[in-house]
Chains A and B, each alone.
Chain A
Amino acid sequence: MTLWWIGNAVLLLVIVPVVVILLRGVLHAARETTQAVDGLRPVAEAVSNDLDAVELLNTTQEQVSQTVTVVANYGGSLDTILEDA
Chain B
Amino acid sequence: MEPAAVVTLIAVVLVILALVVYLVAVILELRKITAGLDAVIESVGGILKKSEPVNGVVETINQDLSAGTDLLEGLLDKKAGQDDAAGLVESLYPGSGASVLERQGRSGEVKNIDEVYTRGAVQLARLGRESPLGVGAMSGAALRDATYSSAAARSIYTNPSGPVADEPGGSRHRPRSPVIGTEAGADGGTQSGEPKSSDG
Report which A residues bind B (CB closer than 8 A).
1, 4-5, 7-8, 11-12, 15-16, 19-20, 23-24, 26-27, 30-31, 33-34, 37-38, 40-41, 44-45, 47-48, 51-52, 54-55, 57-58, 60-61, 64-65, 67-68, 71-72, 75, 78-79, 81-85
Contacts and interface: CB of A to CB of B under 8 A. Distances in A.
Q: Which of A26, A31, A37 has the largest number of chain B CB atoms within 10 A? A: A37
A64 B84 CA distance: 27
Interface residues of B, number: 54
Contacts of A8: 4, 7-8, 11
B61 A51 contact: no
A64 B39 contact: no
B43 A47 contact: yes
Contacts, number: 144
Q: Which of B14, B23, B126 has the largest number of chain A CB atoms within 10 A? A: B14
Given A16-B15, A75-B75, A27 B26 contact: yes
Contacts of B127: 81-82
12 contacts: A12-B7, A24-B22, A33-B29, A33-B33, A41-B36, A48-B43, A52-B50, A61-B60, A65-B64, A68-B71, A75-B71, A75-B72
A52 B43 CA distance: 12
Nearest to A12: B11
B23 to A, nearest CB: 7
B33 A85 contact: no
